[in-house]
Amino acid sequence: MKWKRWLYLTHRWLGIGMCLLVVMWFASGVVMMYVGFPSLTVAERLAGLPGLQASTIRVTPENLTRSINADDSIKSLRLSSILGRPAYLLETVSGLQKIQFADSGEYLRSISESQALKAAQVYQQFLDIDSTQTATVLDRVDMDQWTVSGSLHKHRPLYKVALHDPASTRLYISSVTGEVVRDTNRNERFWNWLGANLHWIYPMQLRRHVSVWHWVIVVLSLIGLVSIFTGTIAGFMRLRLRKRYRGKDVTPYRGMMKWHHLLGLGCMFFLTTFMFSGLMSMNPWSLFTPNQSYADLQQRIRGTKEPVDQQKQLLRLQDHLQQFPGVKEIHWQWLGGKTYHVAMSAAYDYQTILHNNWHGKEELLGRVRRSVINTMESYHAETRLVEEQKLDRYDLYYYSHHERRKPLPVLRLRFDNTDQSWLYIDVKSGEIIAHQTRLHRIQRWLYNGLHSLDFTFLIYHRPLWDVIVVVLSILGLSFSIISIVIGWRRLVRW
């Protein structure tokens, strides 16, 4: 029958074309379990900053906030340190970034090579990184292998600085804000050539063209699925459990082909979920893009900024810095147009500086709750709150894993609307830190669940998670290596 011939031929040649890629995906996936792609964590960024001193904060950000256009609005405003000096960093919804030093009121227009070197030296000093010689600027790059992330676009070009320490640390300094935005070391760079760069097919020359890279992954995943499906059908067609081959064998094949047949059927479910979940990670055809914009939701909750007594605000900040030494950053937050602040000393170590008329965090949380409900209802008249719960433990959709820590406790609000939205509010700061829609929750299972095995009974019982993922990866790797041998033999004969 012709369809059988086409079935076998499709599986054969797609399998030959994909077997090397599948080996690469399984092997690199194990590496990624323990060495992630280089990034600057919140803990590292804050640890590399000097503490804010009350005596050096002499101006308010009023002139800075007034300088933005009327048709634009503030996305974020924080008091941090740039080049070892206190500075306000403002970013607008349109992407505009402005920096003003808090000790003198002068604006930072651009970052020179010498200033980038100074920023790196400050970071090195506060992280106490020993080096054999003075840090040097290696290059000014728009993008390289370790800075392909879209989150860095607003900071390009970047200064690449070598610290000449035993770990061979490289820092990337924003030419816009002067901040350290990425760090790498020799160990990360080596293992990522065997891990993320292979697993994500991440060469910089391809990754810089986001749409092309996206469709390369989608098409390869689809080809892999077709190869698995055709192999599964052919495998069951050639399997005999009753009238066996040669009186005892369930497969007509011998040697490597026998292993390929039996191991393929044994691994078919895992192979299918692995390939399918990899496809789902790309959000193909925008399957998991919700109707409601999270950024728009946050902007509505914040409201229109009301005038603030700047002198009182300055005194309040100075007073807080005197009471709580060691604060590294202060973030401005708005709720219904009113301002309050979150002072951060380290990752997930912060205090909330409330509005003058607010009495404690319970009132703040109550105000956030009411504002969120009113904003959600303004999207659609039939929206209603169906559940609210304070969580002291993670749930199935808000959880920490793979070094991505999230704060607790949180208030979870569940809404009955078109997106079936769940919002998570940090109890300590009143900040909305997560927004889950029905589509996000589906993707969580189809991608994180099936690809990384992010099931709570596994991720909270390590090394059980490690053992299961590694064993399955070894099975997939063994099957793929056998496929390479069979494919090579077929090519030699052909």
**Interval 169-198: pLDDT, tens:** 999 999 999 999 999 999 999 999 999 999
Average pLDDT over residues 136-154: 94
Closest CA to 309 of 243, 357, 378, 362: 357
**Boundary of a domain, candidates 194, 225, 248:** 194
pLDDT at 306: 59
pLDDT at 239: 85
- 106-126: per-residue pLDDT in tens? 999 889 999 999 999 999 999
Question: Per-residue confidence at 21, pLDDT binned at 50, 70, 90?
Answer: very high
Average pLDDT over residues 465-480: 94
Shared domain check, 476 and 429: no
Output the CA–CA distances (angstroms, integers) from residue 317 to 99, 128, 328, 372, 467, in the order listed.
18, 28, 13, 27, 50
Shared domain check, 58 and 16: no
Mean pLDDT for all residues in the chain: 90
User: Residue 245's beta-bridge partner residues?
Assistant: 249
Asked if the model's pLDDT at residue 67 lies above 70, the reply is: yes
Contact 389, 454 (CB under 8 A): no
Question: Per-residue confidence at 307, pLDDT binned at 50, 70, 90?
Answer: low
CA distance 431 to 488: 57
Shared domain check, 139 and 218: no
Asked if the model's pLDDT at residue 240 lies above 90, the reply is: no
pLDDT at 382: 80
The arrangement of strands across the sheet holding 329-335 comes to 107-108, 97-101, 85-92, 74-82, 329-335, 338-346, 349-353
Residue at token pair 């409201």? 303
Structural domains counted in the chain: 3
CA distance 226 to 315: 66
Whether residue 443 lies inside any domain: the answer is no
Structure tokens at 78: 């924080």
3 state SS of 278: helix
CA distance 400 to 92: 29
Shared domain check, 124 and 210: no
Shared domain check, 85 and 25: no
Shared domain check, 50 and 22: no
Whether residue 447 lies inside any domain: the answer is no
**Boundary of a domain, candidates 175, 194, 213:** 194
Which has more pLDDT, 236 or 357?
236
Contact 440, 280 (CB under 8 A): no
Whether residue 442 lies inside any domain: the answer is no
How many Cβ atoms sit within 10 Å of the Cβ of residue 138? Answer: 12
Shared domain check, 417 and 467: no
Asked if the model's pLDDT at residue 436 lies above 70, the reply is: yes
β-pairing verdict for 107-108 and 384-391? unpaired
Whether residue 445 lies inside any domain: the answer is no
Amino acid symbol at 225: L
Whether residue 426 lies inside any domain: the answer is yes
CA distance 181 to 82: 12
In degrees, rounded to 5, the angle at the alpha carbon of residue 144 between the alpha carbons of residues 138 and 147 is 105
Average pLDDT over residues 78-103: 93
CA distance 369 to 361: 12
In degrees, rounded to 5, the angle at the alpha carbon of residue 196 between the alpha carbons of residues 192 and 197 is 80
CA distance 367 to 358: 10
Q: How many CA atoms lie within 13 A of 239 on its CB side?
A: 15
Shared domain check, 260 and 134: no
Output the CA–CA distances (angstroms, integers) from residue 261 to 83, 265, 276, in the order listed.
62, 6, 21
**Boundary of a domain, candidates 194, 213, 232:** 194
Among 68-72, 76-80, 383-387, the range scoring the smallest mean pLDDT is: 68-72
Whether residue 441 lies inside any domain: the answer is no
Asked if the model's pLDDT at residue 336 lies above 80, the reply is: no
Average pLDDT over residues 207-218: 95
Structure tokens at 120: 């790196």
pLDDT at 203: 93
- 318-330: per-residue pLDDT in tens? 888 888 888 999 9
Shared domain check, 317 and 303: yes
pLDDT at 305: 62
Shared domain check, 213 and 78: no
Q: How much of the chain, in percent, has pLDDT values that exceed 70?
A: 97
Task: State the burial class of residue 364 (Cβ atoms within 10 Å of its Cβ: 0-12, 13-18, 19+).
Answer: buried
Question: Per-residue confidence at 446, pLDDT binned at 50, 70, 90?
Answer: very high
Question: Per-residue confidence at 146, pLDDT binned at 50, 70, 90?
Answer: very high
Asked if the model's pLDDT at residue 70 lies above 80, the reply is: no
Whether residue 449 lies inside any domain: the answer is no
Residue 464: left (phi > 0), alpha (psi -120 to 50), or beta? alpha
Average pLDDT over residues 31-53: 93
Shared domain check, 157 and 105: yes
Average pLDDT over residues 335-344: 83
Q: Which residues contact 381 (CB under 8 A, 6 or more apart)?
A: none
Whether residue 229 lies inside any domain: the answer is yes
Shared domain check, 30 and 117: no
Q: Domain limits at 417?
A: 294-436
CA distance 316 to 310: 10
Q: How many CA atoms lie within 13 A of 407 on its CB side?
A: 20
CA distance 237 to 1: 13
pLDDT at 352: 83
Average pLDDT over residues 390-400: 93
